[in-house]
Amino acid sequence: MIQLSILKINGYGPWTLTLGSDREHALQMLQASLYKEIQKLFSEKNCLVFLNRADEFFVVSNGLILEDHIEIQKNLEKSFDVRLSMSIGYADSPFEANLKAYEGKKNETFLSKEHAIFGFINGKSEQKVSIMHFDVDDLTSRRKINSPYEITSTIFNLYAKMSKFFLTKNSLTFFMGGDNFIVVANDDAKNSVNDFIKLIEKEDNITLNCGIGNAKTAREAVKLATKSLDTIREIRDSGKEKPNVYELSC
């Protein structure tokens, strides 16, 4: 069971217009500081926040109850002029959890009207998070042949393919920077990792490594996924044949 909390700035579009045309730099600074604070507050509670198009945030919030969300909401209200809504959903797959959160907001199913929190909360029961951390093998070599912007284009093309592929497995893909992607996964996604790696190898001549982590909280699962990825690198760098996928659980 995965729990997702989706944070969205209230009335952001109309509010941005009040800043006039010379606003882009200010919006970028606001979005970056919001992300920093939201990541800080949720990671302290063993969650992980994913940027969704920079003005929306997805949190894998397994283990958090309504009171945790209210506490974070109060903190954010103290620090920022803008207000955020929180929509919470849980389900067997990450995509369905996103649908539940969406449904909660759309139907105005309030968990706390005062703090603009909508949806359905699972809290501490039945926690299981699976995270897949993908990374391009030896991007450094490509940088010797391709310019920075060409590399970016390649990485974004890969992001589009990954998002589309894993959505068919009811899983959600996020770009983490550099050549790193995290898929908030379920068993279906984990079982199809090798197919995806083969597809990208064939179509784009890119080798991907994938570390998988399974745990009760998002932060622990990401830690294990990254540790798995580093294990693949260690095996490779020791001169042995590397696996494409490595998995750790706790």
Q: Which residues bind Mg ion (CB under 5 A)?
A: 135-136, 139, 179
Asked if 89 contacts 103 with a C-beta cutoff of 8 angstroms, the reply is yes
- For position 55 contacting ligand GTP by CB under 6 A, the verdict is no
Give the per-residue contact string, 138-177, with ligand GTP (x = CB under 6 A; - = no).
Answer: xxx-----------------------------------xx
Residue span binding ligand GTP (CB under 6 A) among the ranges 45-53, 137-145, 164-172, 184-192:
137-145
- For position 14 contacting ligand GTP by CB under 6 A, the verdict is no
Beta-carbon contacts of 75 under 8 Å, excluding residues fewer than 6 positions away, are 37, 41
Asked if 154 contacts 204 with a C-beta cutoff of 8 angstroms, the reply is yes
Q: Write the DSSP string, 81-102.
A: SS-EEEEEEEESSHHHHHHHHH
Asked if 57 contacts 50 with a C-beta cutoff of 8 angstroms, the reply is yes
Closest distance to ligand GTP from the beta carbon of 217 (Å): 18
Among residues 143, 147, 185, 144, which one has the least CA distance to residue 163? Answer: 185
| Contacts to ligand GTP from residues 198-227, by CB under 6 A | 226
Q: How far is CA 95 from CA 48, 125, 201, in A?
A: 16, 19, 26
Closest distance to ligand GTP from the beta carbon of 46 (Å): 18
Closest distance to Mg ion from the beta carbon of 130 (Å): 21
Residue span binding ligand GTP (CB under 6 A) among the ranges 102-110, 134-142, 153-161, 198-206:
134-142
| The entry of ligand GTP, Mg ion, none that residue 171 binds, CB within 5 to 8 Å by partner kind | none
